[in-house]
Amino acid sequence: MISRLPQELAGLVPGCRQRPEPLPLGGPVSQPFVNAVQQEQRRTIERYYRLHAGIYDLTRWTFLLGREALVRGTAASSAPARILEVGCGTGKNLVHLGRQFPQAGLWGLDLSGDMLVVAQKKLQKFAPRLNLVQAAYDRPVGAEPSFDLVVFSYALSMFNPGWEEALAAASRDLAEGGAIAVVDFHDSGSSLFKRWMGLNHVRLDGHLLPGLKSRFPSHRATIRPAFGGLWSYFRFVGLNFSGEGG
């Protein structure tokens, strides 16, 4: 069982990196203060995905709704040269993004080395233009804003705490006019379901969409019901303009 992406694997497989090795995007960035709560939360997520990485794709497709639609919708409105998926997990979305944008450089960042090992196998054919990074997304991956598209797919609802810092990092990673595309759980009227999702480290509180809207005022957003209204999920595409947002 691998708890961290091993350095020798990172060296051997094209496109796989692990912090603190800097990305070829610019100079070093400052290390933010990580408190004990954040550290414990990260260890918990890593342990969770150590158990789930092998069965993730088989078990999640029925309820992580809207992922393909997000990629298709993004493809219809932009042609990004550099794409970052934060919390890329097993790489399912990066496969679609790689096909939709055959010229684009692909970056996948995830806290879990176990998820990245699965992603790495799945994304082999994109290796020459792929960069996988094992890290928590609490700061930009590059010193310069250089991405045209940053994607979060069912990731932000697991950043507890840390979703606001992740949005701040995304707006610094995005080039002027670049797009942020998000699909995630929105809310539920069932306290039992919310508790169940909480046990799976997902916060279902309607908190993400207002945060996204205020940080990226130029946006479009849709909320849809899932499983007969047991919960709702949202899709959001926003544009990054300096001077807008918080």
Residues contributing to the site for ligand SAM (CB under 6 A): 45, 49, 64, 67, 87-89, 92-93, 109-112, 115, 136-137, 153-155, 158-159, 162
Closest CA relative to residue 41, chosen from 109, 112, 95, 98: 112
Give 5's contacts (C-beta < 8 A, 6+ positions apart).
Answer: 16, 18, 113, 116, 117, 132, 134
3-state DSSP assignment of residue 209: helix
Taking the complex as a whole, the smallest distance from the CB of residue 24 to ligand SAM amounts, in Å, to: 20
Give the residue closest to ligand SAM by C-beta.
89
Taking the complex as a whole, the smallest distance from the CB of residue 243 to ligand SAM amounts, in Å, to: 27
Q: How far is CA 228 from the centre of its chain?
A: 27
Nearest to ligand SAM of 159, 216 (CB atom): 159
- 16: its two tokens: 């796989």
Nearest to ligand SAM of 39, 124 (CB atom): 39
| 133 contacts 164 by C-beta, under 8 angstroms | no
Nearest to ligand SAM of 92, 172 (CB atom): 92
Taking the complex as a whole, the smallest distance from the CB of residue 98 to ligand SAM amounts, in Å, to: 14
| 216 contacts 239 by C-beta, under 8 angstroms | yes
Nearest to ligand SAM of 217, 223 (CB atom): 223
Taking the complex as a whole, the smallest distance from the CB of residue 138 to ligand SAM amounts, in Å, to: 7
